[in-house]
Amino acid sequence: MSAKPLKVVLYWHMHQPEYRDFRSGKYHQPWTYLHGIKDYVDMAAHLEAIPQARAVVNFVPILLEQIDDYARQIKGFLNNSTALSDPLLAALAGPVLPSSQESRLELIRHCLRANAERLIDPFPAYRKLADIARWLPQHPEMMLYVNDQYLADLLVWYHLAWIGETVRREDRRIKCLLEKASSYTLHDRRELLAVMGELLASITVRYAALAKRGQVELSMTPYAHPIMPLLLDIQSAKEALPDITLPFLQQYPDGEERVRWHLQEGLASFEKYFGIRPVGCWPSEGSVSEATLKLLSEAGFKWTASGESVLRNSLAASDMVPGEDSCIHQRYQLQDQAIHCFFRDDGLSDLIGFTYSDWHADDAVANFVHHLEDIADTCADQDGSVVSIILDGENAWEFYPDNGYYFLRALYKEIAENPRLELTTFSDCLEDASSVVIPKLVAGSWVYGTFSTWIGDKDKNRAWDMLGEAKRQYDKVIASGGLDEPHRQQAERQLAICEGSDWFWWFGDYNSVESVSEFESLYRMHLSNLYQILGEEPPAYLSEVFAHGSGTPELGGAMRKGQA
Total Cβ atoms within 10 A of residue 478:
15
**What phi and psi, each to the nearest 5 degrees, are found at residue 457?**
-75, 150
Total Cβ atoms within 10 A of residue 192:
22
**What phi and psi, each to the nearest 5 degrees, are found at residue 13?**
-100, 115
pLDDT at position 324 is 66
Does residue 107 contact residue 91 with C-beta atoms inside 8 Å? yes
At residue 301, the 3 state secondary structure works out as: coil
> The whole model's pTM is what?
0.96
Q: Would you give the distance in Å from CA 43 to the centre of its chain? A: 14
Amino acid code (one letter) for 36: G
How far is residue 394's CA from residue 162's CA, in Å, rounded to a whole number?
A: 12
Alpha-carbon Rg for the chain in angstroms: 24
Cα–Cα nearest to 315, from 442, 494, 204, 452: 442
CB half-sphere exposure, 562, CA atoms < 13 A: 14
At residue 68, the 3 state secondary structure works out as: helix
Does residue 518 contact residue 29 with C-beta atoms inside 8 Å? yes
How far is residue 210's CA from residue 38's CA, in Å, rounded to a whole number?
A: 18
How far is residue 253's CA from residue 232's CA, in Å, rounded to a whole number?
A: 9
At residue 388, the 3 state secondary structure works out as: strand
What are the residues whose beta carbons fall under 8 Å from the beta carbon of 174, sequence distance 6 or more? Answer: 160, 163, 167, 168, 192, 195
How far is residue 23's CA from residue 526's CA, in Å, rounded to a whole number?
A: 10
pLDDT at position 512 is 86
Alpha-carbon distance values, 27 to 116, 199, 226, 522, 538 (Å): 24, 19, 21, 10, 21
The secondary structure of 526-562, three-state, reads HHHHHHHHCCCCCCHHHHCCCCCCCECCCCCCCCCHH
Q: Which residues of 273-291 are buried (b: 16+ CB within 10 A; e: fewer)?
A: bbeeebebbbbbbbbbbbb
Alpha-carbon distance values, 26 to 20, 63, 542 (Å): 5, 15, 19
How far is residue 112's CA from residue 132's CA, in Å, rounded to a whole number?
A: 11
Q: Which residues of 228-252 are buried (b: 16+ CB within 10 A; e: fewer)?
A: bbbbbbbebbebbbeebebbebeeb
Total Cβ atoms within 10 A of residue 253:
15
Instruction: Say what the alpha-carbon torsion angle 558, 37, 495, 282 is, to the nearest 10 degrees.
Output: -70
Does residue 73 contact residue 80 with C-beta atoms inside 8 Å? no
DSSP string, 50-90: -TT--EEEEE-HHHHHHHHHHHHHHHHHHTTS----SHHHH
Does residue 511 contact residue 551 with C-beta atoms inside 8 Å? yes
Query: Which pLDDT tens digits describe the chain residue by residue (564 residues)?
Result: 446 899 999 999 999 999 999 999 999 999 999 999 999 999 999 999 999 999 999 999 999 999 999 999 999 999 998 899 999 999 999 999 999 999 999 999 999 999 999 999 999 999 999 999 999 999 999 999 999 999 999 999 999 999 999 999 999 999 999 999 999 999 999 999 999 999 999 999 999 999 999 999 999 999 999 999 999 999 999 999 999 999 999 999 999 999 999 999 999 999 999 999 999 999 999 999 999 999 999 999 999 999 999 999 999 999 988 766 678 999 999 998 999 999 999 999 999 999 999 999 999 999 999 999 999 999 998 888 999 999 999 999 999 999 999 999 999 999 999 999 999 999 999 998 889 999 999 999 999 999 999 999 999 999 999 999 999 999 999 999 989 999 999 999 999 999 999 999 999 878 888 889 999 999 999 999 999 999 999 999 999 999 988 766 444 433 343 332
Does residue 520 contact residue 546 with C-beta atoms inside 8 Å? yes
pLDDT at position 477 is 97
Does residue 75 contact residue 84 with C-beta atoms inside 8 Å? no
What are the residues whose beta carbons fall under 8 Å from the beta carbon of 83, sequence distance 6 or more? Answer: 73, 77, 90
How far is residue 184's CA from residue 147's CA, in Å, rounded to a whole number?
A: 13
Instruction: For residue 176, count CB atoms less than 10 angstroms from its CB and return exposed for 0-12, middle for 13-18, buried for 19 or more.
Output: exposed
Enter the DSSP assignment of 95.
S
Does residue 557 contact residue 29 with C-beta atoms inside 8 Å? yes
Amino acid code (one letter) for 155: L
How far is residue 460's CA from residue 234's CA, in Å, rounded to a whole number?
A: 13
How far is residue 129's CA from residue 150's CA, in Å, rounded to a whole number?
A: 8
How far is residue 250's CA from residue 234's CA, in Å, rounded to a whole number?
A: 6
What end-to-end distance do the CA atoms of the chain give, in Å? 39
Alpha-carbon distance values, 212 to 109, 203, 209, 425 (Å): 42, 14, 5, 14
**What phi and psi, each to the nearest 5 degrees, are found at residue 252?**
-80, 130
